[in-house]
Amino acid sequence: MIQQMTVQELQQRLEQDKPPLIIDVREPWEIQLCSLPDTVQIPMGAITQRLDELDPDRETVVLCHHGIRSQHVAIYLQRVGFTQLHNLRGGINAWARELDPHMETY
Protein backbone atom coordinates (compact mmCIF):
# COMPACT_ATOMS: atom_id res chain seq x y z
CA MET A 1 0.00 0.00 0.00
CA ILE A 2 1.30 3.43 -0.95
CA GLN A 3 1.45 5.95 1.86
CA GLN A 4 -0.45 9.17 1.27
CA MET A 5 1.13 12.52 2.16
CA THR A 6 -0.88 15.69 2.65
CA VAL A 7 0.26 18.97 1.17
CA GLN A 8 0.85 20.27 4.70
CA GLU A 9 3.12 17.31 5.46
CA LEU A 10 5.03 17.86 2.21
CA GLN A 11 5.46 21.55 2.98
CA GLN A 12 6.98 20.64 6.36
CA ARG A 13 9.26 18.00 4.80
CA LEU A 14 10.52 20.51 2.21
CA GLU A 15 11.74 22.74 5.04
CA GLN A 16 13.95 20.01 6.52
CA ASP A 17 17.63 19.39 5.79
CA LYS A 18 17.00 16.39 3.56
CA PRO A 19 13.77 16.98 1.65
CA PRO A 20 12.22 14.17 -0.36
CA LEU A 21 12.58 13.90 -4.11
CA ILE A 22 9.40 15.10 -5.77
CA ILE A 23 8.43 13.53 -9.09
CA ASP A 24 5.81 15.48 -11.03
CA VAL A 25 4.17 13.06 -13.48
CA ARG A 26 1.94 15.60 -15.23
CA GLU A 27 2.29 16.55 -18.88
CA PRO A 28 4.56 19.48 -19.85
CA TRP A 29 1.59 21.76 -20.64
CA GLU A 30 0.25 21.20 -17.12
CA ILE A 31 3.59 21.95 -15.50
CA GLN A 32 3.79 25.22 -17.45
CA LEU A 33 0.56 26.34 -15.78
CA CYS A 34 1.70 25.64 -12.22
CA SER A 35 4.36 23.63 -10.46
CA LEU A 36 6.41 23.26 -7.34
CA PRO A 37 10.10 24.22 -7.43
CA ASP A 38 12.85 21.62 -7.53
CA THR A 39 10.77 18.75 -8.89
CA VAL A 40 11.84 16.07 -11.31
CA GLN A 41 9.40 16.31 -14.19
CA ILE A 42 8.69 12.94 -15.78
CA PRO A 43 5.36 12.50 -17.56
CA MET A 44 3.52 9.37 -16.48
CA GLY A 45 4.02 7.74 -19.89
CA ALA A 46 7.81 8.17 -19.70
CA ILE A 47 8.44 6.82 -16.21
CA THR A 48 9.58 3.37 -17.38
CA GLN A 49 12.15 4.86 -19.76
CA ARG A 50 13.57 7.23 -17.14
CA LEU A 51 13.89 4.96 -14.10
CA ASP A 52 17.68 5.19 -14.20
CA GLU A 53 17.41 8.88 -13.23
CA LEU A 54 15.85 7.98 -9.89
CA ASP A 55 17.23 6.57 -6.63
CA PRO A 56 15.00 3.75 -5.37
CA ASP A 57 16.32 4.24 -1.82
CA ARG A 58 15.57 7.97 -1.55
CA GLU A 59 12.36 9.19 0.00
CA THR A 60 10.14 10.06 -2.96
CA VAL A 61 6.83 11.90 -3.30
CA VAL A 62 4.90 11.52 -6.55
CA LEU A 63 2.46 14.22 -7.58
CA CYS A 64 0.04 14.98 -10.40
CA HIS A 65 -3.05 17.16 -10.78
CA HIS A 66 -5.40 15.45 -8.30
CA GLY A 67 -3.40 12.44 -7.05
CA ILE A 68 -4.74 9.70 -9.31
CA ARG A 69 -1.98 9.40 -11.94
CA SER A 70 0.64 9.79 -9.23
CA GLN A 71 -0.91 6.93 -7.27
CA HIS A 72 -0.57 4.65 -10.31
CA VAL A 73 3.06 5.72 -10.81
CA ALA A 74 3.82 5.16 -7.12
CA ILE A 75 2.37 1.64 -7.32
CA TYR A 76 4.58 0.94 -10.34
CA LEU A 77 7.67 2.34 -8.58
CA GLN A 78 6.94 0.18 -5.55
CA ARG A 79 6.76 -2.90 -7.77
CA VAL A 80 10.20 -2.16 -9.23
CA GLY A 81 11.85 -1.74 -5.84
CA PHE A 82 11.29 1.79 -4.53
CA THR A 83 10.87 1.60 -0.78
CA GLN A 84 10.16 5.12 0.56
CA LEU A 85 7.20 6.25 -1.52
CA HIS A 86 4.39 8.69 -0.91
CA ASN A 87 1.57 9.84 -3.12
CA LEU A 88 0.64 13.50 -2.72
CA ARG A 89 -3.02 13.35 -1.74
CA GLY A 90 -5.01 15.81 -3.85
CA GLY A 91 -2.01 16.67 -6.03
CA ILE A 92 -0.99 20.16 -7.13
CA ASN A 93 -4.66 21.14 -6.97
CA ALA A 94 -4.69 20.55 -3.20
CA TRP A 95 -1.45 22.53 -2.87
CA ALA A 96 -3.07 25.50 -4.63
CA ARG A 97 -6.36 25.27 -2.70
CA GLU A 98 -4.86 24.71 0.74
CA LEU A 99 -1.45 26.40 0.74
CA ASP A 100 -0.98 28.79 -2.18
CA PRO A 101 -4.14 30.62 -3.26
CA HIS A 102 -2.11 32.61 -5.81
CA MET A 103 -1.08 29.47 -7.70
CA GLU A 104 -2.88 29.07 -11.01
CA THR A 105 -5.32 26.18 -11.13
CA TYR A 106 -6.86 24.29 -14.01
Q: What is the pTM of this model?
A: 0.96
Question: Could you give the CA distance from residue 8 to residue 36 in angstroms, rounded to a whole number?
Answer: 14
Known catalytic residues are: 64
* Among 104, 91, 78, 97, residue whose Cα is nearest residue 25: 91
Q: Is 37 left (phi over 0), alpha (psi -120 to 50) or beta?
A: beta
CATH number attached to the domain at 3-98: 3.40.250.10
pLDDT of residue 46: 98
Summarised one tens digit per residue, pLDDT across range 37-96 is 999 999 999 999 999 999 999 999 999 999 999 999 999 999 999 999 999 999 999 999
Confidence of residue 26 (pLDDT cuts 50, 70, 90): very high
